[in-house]
Amino acid sequence: MASFDVIFLGGGPAGYVGAIRAAQLGLTVGVIEREGLGGTCVLWGCIPAKALLESAAVAHRAREAKTFGVNVGEITTDYGVAMKRSRAVSTQNSKGVEFLFKKSKITWIKGTGTLTGKKTISVTDEKGAATTHDAKKGIVICTGSRVKGIPAIGLTLDKTNILSSDEVLIAEKAPATMAIVGAGAVGCEFADVFHEFGTKVTLLEALPTILPLEDADVAAELTKSFKKRGIDVVTGAKITAAKVGKGSVTISLAGPEKKELTVEKVLVAAGRAPVIDGIGLESQGVKLTDRGFIQIDDQMRTSAEGIYAIGDVAGPPMLAHKGEREGVVVAEVIAGKNEHRVNYGNIPNATYCHPEVASVGLTEQQVKEKKLDYKVGRYNFSASGRARTSGETEGFVKVIRDTKYGEILGAHIIGAHATELIHEIVVARENEFTVEEINLAIHAHPTLSEAIAEATLDSMGRALNA
Amino acid sequence: MATKVTMEALSPTMEEGRLVKWLKNEGDPVAKGDVLAEVETDKAVMELTARGEGVLRARLVAEGDTRPVGELLAVIGAPDENIDALIKKAPAEAVTPSEPSSPPTEVPAASRRVEAAPAVTMASSSAASPPAAPAPPARPAPAPPPVPVAPAAPVAPPAATASGNGGGRARSSPLARRLASERGLDLGQLHGSGPGGRVIRRDIESAVAAAQAPAASAAAPSRTAPPAPRTSAPGDFEDIPLTQIRKTIARRLAESIGPVPTFYLTADFDLTSVRELRTRMIALGDEYKVSYNDILLKAIATALSQHPEVNAHWLGDSMRRHHRVHLGMAVAVEDGLITPIIADADRKRISEIARESRELAKRARERKLAPEEYTGATATVSNLGMFGIDEFTAIINPPEVAIFAVGAVADVPVVVDGALAVRTRVRITMSCDHRAVDGATGARFMQTLRRLIENPLMLVF
């Protein structure tokens, strides 16, 4: 039995960042985590996936090396080695969080937690031994989310044929064929990885475009790029059934073409659901939204006094950086600081396939739906000197601005390093800079960032290099 | 029995006050009527006096902090009395006033502004704000022009003071600046909710929303029922019920261009006689030295006394014609403007007006005006002549129905009897609230004013 000011239930990005911030503010902090610190992000998501994408990128570049005057001989790939490297990166990151905990004097309570009162939580460790801990100022639920599969159409996760990202992240080899169900960020990223490791990939998306949350122009550009590389992209795909055979899965699709598809593995990259079972939420009166997430207010408070929720379990967007910010806010709320609320309208999205996709703010479709008066500025990387030097001329920057005031309503980037470039716009929007201020800031030449300046200029009808 | 000391409404429009200085320490004995602290209101620095006696047990607000009216500032009680309950009941903010990073303690620039006519500012912004407005024909008029009505050759105040934007830059985002300039809002008047009190988009939006609420709810009522004894004596005014046609005119015109449908009448006045009068008086000695403006104030006041339909207040369901003339004069102060009042200006001698206007302008700049010195005007004069402005329009300060904008006195070529001649002239623009003052009514007033200005002996008759 230990007593803390605040206990975080979950050691993912939301929980561990919140814990560190709470410790900075002088609170005593415990974090309950049954696996490793860092959560899905560090162990089963962002970090290992990006490590694999980097392997894919190296393979891709190596195949182009000859045209750069570099001969590397025959290119072969080994998924197992890439996987082991990615696991090592994850472990290293998780150890990094452990170090931060020690530095901040945060207690890691290993085990699975269940609420037993408004201020008490019982933790069962691996051996089944239970301890009870109490939190004087607040309990924060940050249990995250997991892929749940789509059993209704036969896509029940079985860890051998029908996989979630958890399994492919520890696979020893790339399959010969793979269908990826769901073309959101996860689906597109693994399509990229496995394609580069020699798998014949079919990317299936039920909605009319891949990356359905992104701007339609960007989705079209990525579709074009994937198809050019040889990734089979099927949008508007209606899966009616999936049958597991011996070492293969047969997927039935409605519609005139591609009635049946037989692949070695299926990766289900759709349908993440919050982890809410067995926590004791109901017993403490913590209400859920109609979509099954924990309902919170802008101070991360749930319907039960003293119980807070942050991260994926508290609702979309299910992004590590959204959870991290909520962690900071919840720590400050519990510590009695009257801090700035999360600006949910300015959370960047990033997809790390090649070309990369990043965005912030509204898409052109959303701007139209809101009937805003807007102008679009666009700049293609094919016109960028820097992009030509690196041979990465795919993609573009698209800036959507308000006609009257120049407010940046949204920005969409597809191309090399898009996920880094987007932050110029994120900072600008957070500070309410307009396209004028972006343009006034001098951009170094030659850089990819110039494309952002040019796109804002274009939105004002003043593009210089296009 | 302990006494709570709360932020009192020290002026009729005050919503919050900044505690400038504590004059008693915790533990000091306090008698009823003792001055406890100096509090800066929206208009001036005022004294907060004790309403109970005993010992000042607790000071709950740090110097420099701002608190809304009604909030607990301190507790007076017996030396050994338990006052925990009293303090605990106070909102959390009041109990921890020293937390430096908590936004409420950041004094928004707005609360410190001296603002003569919030009603006018807000009315003008709401008039300009309907998003669907057809191509804006004219940019919304700026906040009432700051006008030091003062000695003839005043030292021009620093440029920052003269620009309606006031002294001290308000922190704001570029987007907020654009939105504000479009809507004619003064950023300095807004509460900033961004980091470090920065004015951001949502602050502009909430200011616009507030302005669209029934015209200036905060300021208008106090103006409508001025606390000043001057205008409230029976017989000092007459309330005129609105006729149907007047109601229709009022409604239609307000629908057309805003809550105060204003039109402007501009005329040139020949000051040849005024100049002669003034030269002769100056020759008599320093005690007879008055400014052109003093003489113009007297002329406008006299004309108002002859035109009660202009010397009036629009009260929504009636018009109040005042029998006495209390002339407001706009004075630029460090971070805004205020309109102190020359009471019974029509009955005062020019020398009295000269002395009083000088004195009021000085006290206004020092922020020493008492509320009754700047409330209850029946009409207002604004003068930008000393900035070389030939003519301009001023914004009516409701519930008044007219304001006079006085330009620069200048020697200009004019045609007299078919030949060119140089004459000293001034241009005055009268802004009229069309709900109360029709075009012809205003024009007749200007005729009277011309007779008085061009024949200044009538002013002493």
Asked if residue B7 lies in contact with residue B70, where contact means CB atoms within 8 angstroms, the answer is yes
Place of tokens 């807004």: B190
Burial B46-58 (b: 16+ CB within 10 A, else e): bebebeeebbbbb
Asked if residue B180 lies in contact with residue B204, where contact means CB atoms within 8 angstroms, the answer is yes
Q: Do B341 and B395 share a domain, yes or no?
A: yes
* B179 Cα to chain A: minimum distance (Å): 7
Distances (CA, A) of A293 to A6, A14, A186, A278: 22, 15, 20, 14
The Cα–Cα gap between A105 and A89 comes to: 24
Q: Do B325 and B409 share a domain, yes or no?
A: yes
The Cα–Cα gap between A40 and A54 comes to: 19
Asked if residue B156 lies in contact with residue B386, where contact means CB atoms within 8 angstroms, the answer is yes
Rounded to the nearest 5°, which phi and psi values hold at A408?
-85, 105
CB-based contact A404 B182, cutoff 8 Å: yes
E strand or H helix that includes residue B297: helix B292-306
Counting Cα atoms < 13 Å in the Cβ hemisphere of B113 gives 25
Other Cβ atoms less than 10 A from the Cβ of A258: the count is 15
> What share of chain B has pLDDT > 70, as a percent?
74
pLDDT above 60 (res B41): yes
The Cα–Cα gap between B175 and A185 comes to: 32
The pLDDT of residue B281 is: 84
CB-based contact B103 A338, cutoff 8 Å: yes
CB-based contact B174 A437, cutoff 8 Å: yes
Q: Quickly count helices (H) and strands (E) in chain A.
A: 13, 22
Q: Is the peptide bond before B259 cis (omega within 30 degrees of 0)?
A: no
CB-based contact B200 A432, cutoff 8 Å: yes
Residue B186 lies in a domain: yes
pLDDT one-digit tens code per residue, B313-342: 998 888 999 999 999 999 887 767 788 999
Q: Do B173 and B264 share a domain, yes or no?
A: no
E strand or H helix that includes residue B207: helix B201-212
Which residues of chain A register pLDDT less than 70? 256-258, 338-339
Asked which of B163-177, B363-377, B436-450 is least confident by mean pLDDT, the reply is B163-177
Give the list of residues 6+ apart from residue B140 with CB closer than 8 angstroms, or none. Answer: B124, B125, B127, B128, B183, B184
Other Cβ atoms less than 10 A from the Cβ of B403: the count is 28
CATH of the domain at B339: 3.30.559.10
Confidence category of residue B233, pLDDT binned at 50, 70, 90:
low
Is the CB of residue A226 less than 8 Å away from at least one CB of chain B? no
Amino acid letter at A366?
Q
Is the CB of residue A436 less than 8 Å away from at least one CB of chain B? yes
Is the CB of residue A338 less than 8 Å away from at least one CB of chain B? yes
E strand or H helix that includes residue A130: strand A130-141
Other Cβ atoms less than 10 A from the Cβ of B154: the count is 15
Asked which of A206-210, B32-36, B256-260 is least confident by mean pLDDT, the reply is B256-260
Asked if residue A374 lies in contact with residue A402, where contact means CB atoms within 8 angstroms, the answer is yes
pLDDT above 90 (res B61): no
pLDDT above 80 (res B444): yes
Confidence category of residue B131, pLDDT binned at 50, 70, 90:
very low
Which pair of structure tokens corresponds to residue A354?
């090649």
- Expressed as residue numbers, the domain containing B163 is 110-132+144-220
Residue B137 lies in a domain: no
Place of tokens 């898409």: A363
Strands (E) across B181-298 are located at 237-241, 262-270
Query: Has A195 been annotated as catalytic?
Result: no
Q: Do B446 and B302 share a domain, yes or no?
A: yes
The pLDDT of residue B112 is: 37
Residue B247 lies in a domain: yes
The pLDDT of residue B225 is: 36
pLDDT above 50 (res B140): no
Q: Do B84 and B161 share a domain, yes or no?
A: no
Q: Do B86 and B169 share a domain, yes or no?
A: no
pLDDT above 60 (res B79): yes
Kindly report the CATH number that applies to the domain delimited by A151-270: 3.50.50.60
How far from each other are the two terminal CA atoms of chain A, in whole angstroms?
A: 67
Sheet holding A265-268, edge to edge: A162-163, A265-268, A177-181, A200-205, A232-235
Residue B205 lies in a domain: yes
In CATH, which of 3.40.50.1100, 3.90.700.10, 3.30.390.30, 3.40.50.10470 is domain A355-459?
3.30.390.30
The pLDDT of residue B232 is: 54
pLDDT above 50 (res B129): no
Greater confidence (B382 vs B137) lies with: B382
pLDDT above 80 (res B295): yes
Distances (CA, A) of B94 to A299, B68, B102: 21, 11, 12
Greater confidence (B354 vs B212) lies with: B354
Greater confidence (B58 vs A325) lies with: A325
The pLDDT of residue A297 is: 94
CATH of the domain at B126: 4.10.320.10
The Cα–Cα gap between A50 and B220 comes to: 62
The Cα–Cα gap between A276 and B186 comes to: 50
The Cα–Cα gap between A186 and A64 comes to: 26
Give the list of residues 6+ apart from residue B265 with CB closer than 8 angstroms, or none. Answer: B429, B430, B432, B439, B442, B443, B446
Confidence category of residue B108, pLDDT binned at 50, 70, 90:
very low
Q: Do B34 and B173 share a domain, yes or no?
A: no
The Cα–Cα gap between A381 and A456 comes to: 14
Cα nearest neighbour of A401 on chain B: B175
Distances (CA, A) of B133 to A285, B125, B257, B258, B263: 50, 13, 10, 11, 19
Q: Do B435 and B343 share a domain, yes or no?
A: yes
Number of domains in chain B: 3
Confidence category of residue B89, pLDDT binned at 50, 70, 90:
low
Q: Do B291 and B423 share a domain, yes or no?
A: yes
Mean pLDDT over B369-385 rounds to 89
Other Cβ atoms less than 10 A from the Cβ of A248: the count is 15
Rounded to the nearest 5°, which phi and psi values hold at A79?
-60, -35
E strand or H helix that includes residue A124: strand A120-124
Asked if the A2-146+273-344 domain carries CATH number 3.50.50.60, the reply is yes
Residue B350 lies in a domain: yes
The pLDDT of residue B337 is: 77
Rounded to a whole number of angstroms, the CA Rg of chain B reads 24
Greater confidence (A356 vs B358) lies with: A356
> What share of chain B has pLDDT > 90, as a percent?
25
CB-based contact B174 A434, cutoff 8 Å: yes
The pLDDT of residue B103 is: 38
Residue B256 lies in a domain: yes
The Cα–Cα gap between B55 and B25 comes to: 9
Asked if residue B116 lies in contact with residue B44, where contact means CB atoms within 8 angstroms, the answer is no
Distances (CA, A) of B384 to A161, B299, B329, B377: 84, 18, 12, 20
Torsion of CA B383, B385, B389, B393, to 10 degrees: 20
Task: Classify B362 as helix, strand or coil.
Answer: helix
Across the strands, what pairs with A252?
A241, A260
Domains A151-270 and A355-459 belong to one CATH topology = no
* B67 Cα to chain A: minimum distance (Å): 17
Asked if residue A393 lies in contact with residue A220, where contact means CB atoms within 8 angstroms, the answer is no
Is the CB of residue A76 less than 8 Å away from at least one CB of chain B? no
Residue B128 lies in a domain: yes
pLDDT above 60 (res B118): no
The Cα–Cα gap between A106 and A20 comes to: 8
Residue B139 lies in a domain: no
Q: Do B255 and B343 share a domain, yes or no?
A: yes
Q: Residue A42 has what DSSP assignment?
A: I
Place of tokens 């560190």: A20
The Cα–Cα gap between B398 and B314 comes to: 7
Torsion region of A52: left, alpha or beta (phi above 0 gives left; psi -120 to 50 gives alpha): alpha
Domain ranges of chain A: 2-146+273-344, 151-270, 355-459
* A438 Cα to chain B: minimum distance (Å): 11
pLDDT above 60 (res B50): yes
Place of tokens 């949008």: A235
Across the strands, what pairs with B300?
none
pLDDT above 80 (res B110): no
Asked which of B52-56, B120-124, B379-383 is least confident by mean pLDDT, the reply is B120-124
Q: Do B37 and B152 share a domain, yes or no?
A: no
The pLDDT of residue B52 is: 82
Confidence category of residue B256, pLDDT binned at 50, 70, 90:
low
The pLDDT of residue B145 is: 38
Asked which of A343-347, B62-66, B348-352 is least confident by mean pLDDT, the reply is B62-66
Rounded to the nearest 5°, which phi and psi values hold at A261?
-140, 120
Mean pLDDT over B81-89 rounds to 74
The pLDDT of residue B371 is: 81
**Chain B residues contacting A, CB < 8 Å?**
101-104, 173-176, 178-179, 182, 195, 200-201
Cα nearest neighbour of B181 on chain A: A405
* B184 Cα to chain A: minimum distance (Å): 14
Confidence category of residue B432, pLDDT binned at 50, 70, 90:
very high
Predicted complex ipTM exceeds 0.95:
no
Counting Cα atoms < 13 Å in the Cβ hemisphere of A263 gives 27
Asked if residue B426 lies in contact with residue B278, where contact means CB atoms within 8 angstroms, the answer is no
Catalytic residue among A60, A321, A417, A445: A445
Q: Do B267 and B409 share a domain, yes or no?
A: yes
Which pair of structure tokens corresponds to residue B67?
């608190």
